Amino acid sequence: MAEALKKRSEMDPQFQWDLRDLIPTEKALEELFSELESGIGRYEGFKGRLGEDAAVLKEYLDHDVAMDLKFSRLLAYAIQKRDEDTSQSASQALLSRAQLLLSRAMEASSFAEPELLGIPEPVMKGFLEDGALSGYRLYLERILARKEHMLGEREERLLAGFGQTAAAPSAIFTMFNNADVRFQAVRGGDGEEIPVTHGSYGTLMESRDRSLRQAVFHSYYSSYRQFSNTLAAAYEGHVKQACFTARARNYSSSREMSLAANEVPEQVYDSLLETIGSRLPALHRYVRLRKERLGLPELHMYDLFVPLAGGTDKRYPYEEGKRLILEGLKPLGEEYGKLLETGFSSRWIDVYENQGKRSGGYSRHVYGCHPYVLMSYTDSLDSVLTLAHEMGHSLHSWYSDHAQPPAYAGYTIFVAEVASTCNEVILFQHMIRQAETREEKESLIFQLLDRFRSVMFRQTMFAEFEWETHKMCRDGIPLTADALCSLYHGLNEKYFGPDMCVDPEIDVEWARIPHFYYTFYVYQYATAFAAAVTIGQRIFDGDKNALEGYFNFLKGGSSMKPTELLKLCGLDMEGPGVVNAALDVFESLLGSLE
């Protein structure tokens, strides 16, 4: 019988992140709460005074940034404590306490932006020219650019107080998906009972036993189907909140509001959907090739993950996975490699799945502390790539934090996915070049094609689903489970083409995607993948200018607009060129296998 998941307390600490680097003791945690309580009280002393002179404004901004840094540390600690075991009520209570305090801080400081926007233009111009505020010039200019979307002080206070309520749908989904949902175990070919979990699902779907894949697929999605009405209500609540806020802030749509927050033109989104849509015949060719290689009369959704060549059956224990990443990413230079080694050896990473652990993976950083990575490593090539991906995020954060002041150290999601995916692309190229047999090389090419399918095509399909659901909400169309399943089924038929049997179970896949609660997030995986393919190939080929531009990009933080940061790498993201160039690579790889 397969081994059941261990409790958190039964795991080897060397494979768990060390949160003491964030907050070392319970005493330090309570001291941080006290400092934040006191800091909230200080906001009242600035009210009505921001236009007095540059010195007062700087004092306020220094205080606000200091509060942001403290809240960042507190929330990172609370979220990560919850995520390492979501069944623990104490961690849930800690996070709720931190979020409540943050909501109070947002209410207390809600006067600031309306007050800043009310400062007469000649006065603000003088402030911006004052040397004391030189470190905040871009920060203030970004606030002023949102002037038409800011409300009065009372309305801003109400919206700030609404924030914690607005987060409820996401919190409901998170608790359901990580603490409550259970999947029925399945029987293997030898009759043994095999548990189905978030962590094991991907590995089981790679099994060459088609009956097992089908059983796992049915088990997994049956659980979501059982709760589809509840999950539809949670998702509709999230979408309604986004649409309400967009209307309140005078945006034409929730998408415009979300993209504006990252300074990304909506044309980037539309261009992605249009360009991918025009190149779907390439994905249909891939589906047909997979069907032929597997020798199947019908290709089902549960056949999308089984390796198409023997080389991908290779297992990569964690130590081997780390060694492969260090070797494969050598084109990024010696310093980059040493930072990777530090992360691997200093407990930045929470490696293996345990009971109650949040599914998926992420990298989280706090200014003044090293980044952290959460994942569920399973010795698969996909786990190696996930580790490389998340460490790409982490080192992006490290370089940005060390090159930028706190106000500009953070970066938008749009550029974040470039750094992480670039690691994957370079690692893939290394492995393909080092392949010892034709079979291994072919299997790696198939894996890279699968990466295109799952990132460029599938994430664009997610982006189209998300945009359609937000438009439905805007137009007053209820987001029922049936409506969402129907929309999702149609998109799968469109994207995967005539050679794919779109199983009814997949209709409810939307109900398990956590990123749909990060409004208009998923499209950035596809745009970033396109950018990363271009950058990674240039670096792998030894282009020193590309490498220099890439490290300037990594150090840029939010000191420039995202599209301007990518121009440091020689990329223009506002047209279809970068996406088309990446799809040309996909078709070239596909053609070589056909």
Q: What 3-state DSSP class applies to 299?
A: strand
Say if CB 562 and CB 583 are below 8 A apart: no
Please give, one letter per residue, the 3-state secondary structure of 167-217: CHHHHHHHHHHHHHCCCCCEECCCCCEECCCHHHHHHHCCCCCHHHHHHHH
Q: How far apart are CA 31 and CA 189, in angstroms?
A: 56
Closest C-alpha to 224, from 513, 515, 553: 513
Looking at the annotation, which residues are catalytic?
390
Q: How far apart are CA 111 and CA 534, in angstroms?
A: 44
Q: Is the dihedral of CA 512, 515, 517, 519 positive or negative?
A: negative
Q: How far apart are CA 186 and CA 221, in angstroms?
A: 13
Q: What are the backbone dihedrals phi and psi of residue 356, each rounded to the nearest 5 degrees, phi first?
A: 85, -5
Say if CB 67 and CB 115 are below 8 A apart: no
Q: What are the backbone dihedrals phi and psi of residue 350, each rounded to the nearest 5 degrees, phi first?
A: -100, 105
Q: How many CB atoms lie within 10 A of CB 35?
A: 14
State the virtual CA torsion across 233, 236, 238, 240 in degrees, nearest 10.
-130
State the virtual CA torsion across 29, 35, 39, 41 in degrees, nearest 10.
100
Q: How far apart are CA 367 and CA 516, in angstroms?
A: 27
Amino acid at 234: A
Q: How far apart are CA 445 and CA 73, in angstroms?
A: 41
Q: How far apart are CA 409 and CA 434, in angstroms?
A: 37
Cα 457 to the center of its chain, rounded Å:
16
Degrees, nearest 5: CA angle 326-331-335: 65
- In this structure, the chain runs to a length of 594
Residue 375 CB partners (closer than 8 Å, separation 6+): 349, 350, 351, 360, 361, 383, 386, 387, 390
